[in-house]
């Protein structure tokens, strides 16, 4: 806390009060929450994304053109994704759910780190890395089934047991639409929420970057924690340009203090 600017300390206090007094707060996260866990975001296109430009390699068009190229990239990235552990930012969000401050998380991440940290109500609008679908007959495979298959057949792209068509991870690629349930659910809860806490997203990937607009248009407020500015900073109640792994645990600490103050007042 001591390395923070006074303005940041004030923003943490204000954000905590806003969340504590909310009726239906939700969280929207992006790749920035997982960078501390060793998974690079798409900003700066450093490291792995310099080699595999996400908009090119991660599009459905290039997948369909050459699935084996996509799978070679996936094999290289998979260990980082599968072995990543949650960081203090994820654990803080898990605490917010346990404290019943937030009612749900909408995440663009596919890494399952929110669930690993202990969150239960998580809408994964871009899918996750634990299921694989056949592009021919829609047969579905678990991660374990796929790993066994890759070991046995050593074939890229892995082909469906039933129809032979290529398998694709159940993640939303550029050019694909969101899964229906998650799409409508996230719009619904964004409209319903009186406070949306946005953490670690550049708010540049459509259609997720429009979700906060539903909250704003229904009179809700947004709080942004991100280490660079976003297009919604001007419309946000509070903006904290700092690391999620630093700020979110401080917000939880502050909420616990407010809660204790509140409880001691109501008991006296
Ligand atoms: N972990 C993952 O699952 C993962 C990783 C890379 C990309 N993606 C996918 O890529 C798309 C990218 O959109 P996006 O908005 O999620 O990410 P993004 O890469 O566009 O933006 C991430 C934002 O977080 C900020 N940031 C990075 N580290 C931070 C930190 N420690 N604290 C605070 N801010 C930090 C960056 O400056 C950037 O503004 C999404 O569709 C997502 O599904 C997911
Ligand atoms: Zn099939």
- Provide the CB-side half-sphere exposure for 122 (13 A, CA): 24
What mean pLDDT do residues 64-84 have?
92
The ligand 1 atom at the shortest distance from the C-alpha of residue 230 is 39
20-34 pLDDT per residue, tens: 999 999 999 999 999
194 and 119 in a single domain? The answer is yes
Residue 221 three-state SS: strand
Please check the confidence at residue 267 and state whether its pLDDT lies above 80: no
Do 39 and 31 contact (CB within 8 A), yes or no? Answer: yes
Residue 126 Cβ inside 6 Å of ligand 1? The answer reads: yes
Per-chain mean pLDDT for the chain: 94
93 and 79 in a single domain? The answer is no
The ligand 1 atom at the shortest distance from the C-alpha of residue 228 is 37
Euclidean distance between CA atoms 196 and 18, whole angstroms: 10
Q: Which residue, judged by its Cα, is nearest atom 40 of ligand 1?
A: 108
The ligand 1 atom at the shortest distance from the C-alpha of residue 242 is 33
Q: Which residue, judged by its Cα, is nearest atom 2 of ligand 1?
A: 109
Residue 176 Cβ inside 6 Å of ligand 1? The answer reads: no
137 and 196 in a single domain? The answer is no
192 prior amide bond cis, ω within 30: no
214 and 98 in a single domain? The answer is yes
Which is nearest to 167 in space by CA: 139, 148, 144?
139
98 and 5 in a single domain? The answer is yes
Domains: count for the chain = 2
**1 vs 99, higher pLDDT:** 99
219 and 263 in a single domain? The answer is yes
136 and 240 in a single domain? The answer is no
Euclidean distance between CA atoms 19 and 11, whole angstroms: 12
Q: Which residue, judged by its Cα, is nearest atom 26 of ligand 1?
A: 32
142 and 71 in a single domain? The answer is yes
Residue 177 has a CB neighbour count (10 Å cut-off) of: 9
Start-to-end CA distance of the chain, whole Å, equals: 31
Residue 58 three-state SS: coil
Please check the confidence at residue 6 and state whether its pLDDT lies above 70: yes
Which CATH number is 58's domain given?
3.30.1600.10
Euclidean distance between CA atoms 246 and 227, whole angstroms: 11
211-261 pLDDT per residue, tens: 999 999 999 999 999 999 999 999 999 999 999 999 999 999 999 999 999
Residue ranges making up the domain that contains 167: 40-83+132-171
| Ligand approaching nearest to the C-alpha of 232 | 1
Residue 110 Cβ inside 6 Å of ligand 1? The answer reads: yes
**Tokens coding 126:** 């871009």
Residue 37 Cβ inside 6 Å of ligand 1? The answer reads: no
Do 213 and 41 contact (CB within 8 A), yes or no? Answer: no
Q: Report how far ligand 1's centroid is from the alpha carbon of 262 (Å).
A: 35
Q: Which residue, judged by its Cα, is nearest atom 21 of ligand 1?
A: 202
Please check the confidence at residue 38 and state whether its pLDDT lies above 70: yes
Euclidean distance between CA atoms 51 and 159, whole angstroms: 26
What mean pLDDT do residues 42-57 have?
76
Residue 119 has a CB neighbour count (10 Å cut-off) of: 25
Residue 42 Cβ inside 6 Å of ligand 1? The answer reads: yes
The helix or strand, by DSSP H or E, that contains position 250, with its residue range, turns out to be helix 244-267
268 and 240 in a single domain? The answer is yes
Q: Report how far ligand 1's centroid is from the alpha carbon of 18 (Å).
A: 25
Report pLDDT for 47. Answer: 67
β strands within 113-203, DSSP E: 122-124, 127-134, 140-142, 167-171, 195-199
Which is nearest to 199 in space by CA: 8, 31, 20?
31
**45 vs 135, higher pLDDT:** 135
223 and 255 in a single domain? The answer is yes
15 and 119 in a single domain? The answer is yes
Percent residues over pLDDT 70 in the chain: 97
Euclidean distance between CA atoms 27 and 49, whole angstroms: 26
Alpha helices (H) in 66-174, listed in sequence order:
67-83, 88-98, 113-117, 143-153
Do 211 and 28 contact (CB within 8 A), yes or no? Answer: yes
Q: Would you name the residues annotated as active-site residues?
A: 126
50 and 119 in a single domain? The answer is no
118-176 pLDDT per residue, tens: 999 999 999 999 999 999 999 999 999 999 999 999 889 999 999 999 999 999 999 99
């Amino acid at each position: 806390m001591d390395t923070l600017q006074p303005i940041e300390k004030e923003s943490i206090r204000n954000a905590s009060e806003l969340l504590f007094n909310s009726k239906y707060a939700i969280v929207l996260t992006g790749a920035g929450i997982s960078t501390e866990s060793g998974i690079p975001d798409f900003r700066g296109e450093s490291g792995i994304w310099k080699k595999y430009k996400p908009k090119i390699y991660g599009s459905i068009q290039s997948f369909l053109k050459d699935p084996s190229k996509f799978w070679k990239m996936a094999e290289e990235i998979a260990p980082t994704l599968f072995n990543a552990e949650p960081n203090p930012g994820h654990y803080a969000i898990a605490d917010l759910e346990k404290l019943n401050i937030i009612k749900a998380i909408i995440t663009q991440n596919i890494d399952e780190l929110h669930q690993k940290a202990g969150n239960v109500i998580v809408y994964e609008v871009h899918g996750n890395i634990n299921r694989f679908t056949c592009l021919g007959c829609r047969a579905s495979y678990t991660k374990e089934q796929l790993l066994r298959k890759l070991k046995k057949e050593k074939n890229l792209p892995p082909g469906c047991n039933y129809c032979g068509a290529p398998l694709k991870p159940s993640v939303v690629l550029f050019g694909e639409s969101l899964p229906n349930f998650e799409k409508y659910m996230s719009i619904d809860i964004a409209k319903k929420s009186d406070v949306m806490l946005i953490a670690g997203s550049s708010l540049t990937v459509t259609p997720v970057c429009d979700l906060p607009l539903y909250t704003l248009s229904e009179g809700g407020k947004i709080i942004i924690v991100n280490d660079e500015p976003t297009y919604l900073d001007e419309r946000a109640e509070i903006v904290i340009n700092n690391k999620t792994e630093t700020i979110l645990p401080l917000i939880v600490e502050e909420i616990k203090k407010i809660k204790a103050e509140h409880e001691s007042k109501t008991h006296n």
